[in-house]
Amino acid sequence: MLKELFDLVKGEATETVINNPDVPNQYNNDVVAEATNTVASGLRNLVAGGGTQNILSMFGGSTNKKSLLSNPIVSMMMGHFASKLMNKFKMGTSQANNLSGNLIPNVLGSLINKSNDANDSAFSLEKLLASITGGRSNEVASQGGGIGGLLNQFNGASQSNGGGLMDIVKTLAGGAQEQQQRNGGSLLDLIKGFAR
């Protein structure tokens, strides 16, 4: 799923990164890798901290840019990415915030749209959660009627899954925490391999 996410970010980065005079060409792939890392790590960290419901809400909501910009998850990712642009690539504050404020919401909007598109088999919320949790989401979803059952659990439609929502959150958070430890907290080196 990381490779697909990297390709999605690269596709969204044409105007904001590749054709942007504020980003020297030799940094294009590194900036795309950093944006991919920001989105993947941000989602994984959110699940690891027990925020699965926030991700499910975001993926079930609007994908228009105004709506995404008002989402605290998106704001957190934009701030993190802008900081990386300033520190690693020596971009000015205005340029970094502008690039981040365009690229991150566009990527998340595309990711949400593709995940909700039944005709796009490369992306799904199930695959995304499975990659973030080391497959733990598959275990939870299989017990509760797939990802739809999982969404119903979070929306309060049913709590028959052997202990309810807290068990689901703990299981998913545990899987995400294991993924963090396995990757040393960073996915960036793995992602940079896709840029070569």
Instruction: State the Cα–Cα distance between residues 37 and 173, nearest whole angstrom.
Output: 19
Residue-level pLDDT at 176: 65
Residue with token string 């294009």: 28
Residue 25: DSSP 8-state: G
**174 or 110: whose pLDDT is higher?**
110
Rounding to the nearest 10 degrees, give the CA dihedral for residues 50, 51, 57, 62. -160
Which range of residues forms the domain containing residue 73? 2-195
Per-residue confidence band for 158, with pLDDT thresholds at 50, 70 and 90: very low
**6 or 141: whose pLDDT is higher?**
6
pTM for this entry: 0.78
What digits encode the pLDDT tens for the residues 38-65? 998 888 888 788 777 788 788 887 788 8
H helices, E strands: number in the chain:
11, 0
**110 or 184: whose pLDDT is higher?**
110
**Nearest Cα residue to 106 out of 61, 59, 65:** 65
Per-residue confidence band for 157, with pLDDT thresholds at 50, 70 and 90: very low
What digits encode the pLDDT tens for the residues 125-140? 777 777 777 766 666 5
What digits encode the pLDDT tens for the residues 14-40? 999 999 999 999 999 999 999 998 998
Residue-level pLDDT at 151: 55
**How many domains are there within the chain?**
1
47 three-class SS: helix
